[in-house]
Amino acid sequence: MNRMLIVALLGALLPLPAAASLALAQKHSCMACHALDKPLVGPPFRTVARTYAGKQGAEARLIQKVRNGGSGAWGKLPMPPNPQVGDADLRALVKWILALPPQPAQP
């Protein structure tokens, strides 16, 4: 009984993955250029999720793009490299983005 109570309490205290990943995006300044639902400097995260939905190798490709930067995929402005983001945080951020429910396509 005590073991079940401890497990339940620990589960309640752990942050939700979505909240934790939004916090990571804020911590690493992703939100300075990206938003969830509207374009800023870069594309909305939900648009990224829709674009890469179901594509094989999407996670590895996005990890590489965030780590090394990129240009031309979403417009004229390049995304700078982010070597300061640790591997675990980077993987969590990309998994979170890819798991977002995509927004409907704009007419």
pLDDT at 5: 43
pLDDT at 16: 45
pLDDT at 11: 44
Alpha-carbon span 43 to 69, nearest angstrom: 14
pLDDT at 106: 60
Fill in the DSSP letter of residue 82. -
pLDDT at 8: 46
Neighbouring C-beta atoms of residue 15, cutoff 10 Å: 10
The matching CATH number, chosen from 1.10.620.20, 1.10.20.10, 3.40.50.880, 1.10.760.10, for 17-99 is 1.10.760.10
Whether 95 shows a pLDDT value over 70: the answer reads: yes
Whether 7 shows a pLDDT value over 80: the answer reads: no
Q: Are 73 and 63 in contact (CB under 8 A)?
A: no
User: 10-52, pLDDT tens digit by residue?
Assistant: 444 444 456 679 999 999 999 999 999 999 999 999 999 999 9
Whether 54 shows a pLDDT value over 90: the answer reads: yes
Domain locations in the chain as residue ranges: 17-99
Alpha-carbon distances, residue 24 vs 82, 85, 92, 100, 104 (angstroms): 13, 10, 8, 15, 25
Question: Would you state the structure tokens that stand for residue 26, as one six-digit string?
Answer: 């804020």
